Structure 1
Amino acid sequence: MKYFPIVLVITVFLLLIPFVAMQFTAEVNWDIFDFVVMGTLLFTTGMLLAQIPRWVPQRNYRILLGCAVLGAFFLVWAELAVGIFGSPFAGS
């Protein structure tokens, strides 16, 4: 639980990027649902990455599991952003 505030601050900081961009351009158009979904995705990924060293003792498996978590994060992010798989959740 010691990583909770660190991951929370990083998540909020990353969500400030589109929030500030919305103030200067009309090309970034997020609503509250977008912020909640991306915040949940970022926070969950960050907490999983923070817990991997506690769960997995071997360094090679830690790296492999970390890459798997990041890969899943990027796939979900891409699907929600542009719909690379064409699911009903796609943003296109």
Structure 2
Amino acid sequence: MMTQNRRLIGIILTVVFILLIPFIAMQFTDEVNWGLFDFIVMGVLLLGTGLLCELVMRKVKNMDYRIGILALILIALFLIWAELAVGIFGSPFAGS
């Protein structure tokens, strides 16, 4: 039980650390210009991905299935991130 709680705390701290990167960069350059909505969307995306990965780690016992599902989750994260950032698919949600 304690290990699972540590992993959850680790997920939350990792999300906070990743979100601190653009926040700190905004203090030093105008090249990074995130608004509150950007931080909320990325926080939800990262936290959701982390929690979904944690769920898979807890529930899926077969290592091959676990690796496959985690790979699909991470691919989905990167595709959504790329679409929101630069619009690789040209959806209405594209960032450019």
TM-score with structure 1 length normalisation? Answer: 0.95
CA distance in 1, matches of 2:22, 2:83: 18
Amino acid at match of 1:52: V
Instruction: Report the CA distance between 1:45 and its aligned residue.
Output: 0.5
Aligned mate of 2:91, from 81, 87, 91:
87
How many angstroms does 1:5 deviate by?
Answer: 2.0
SS in 2 for 1:28: coil
1:44 aligns with 2:14: no
Residues matched between the structures, number = 92
What's the counterpart of residue 63 of structure 1? 67
Secondary structure of 2:22's match? helix
Give the SS at the match of 1:89: coil
RMSD: 1.0
CA distance in 1, matches of 2:60, 2:87: 33
How many angstroms apart in 2 are the aligned matches of 1:5 and 1:12? 11
So what's the TM-score if we normalise by structure 2? 0.91
Deviation at 1:7, TM superposition (A): 1.1
Task: Name the % identity.
Answer: 57
Query: What is residue 18 of structure 1 aligned with on the other side?
Result: 22
Segments of 5+ residues of structure 1 without an aligned counterpart are none
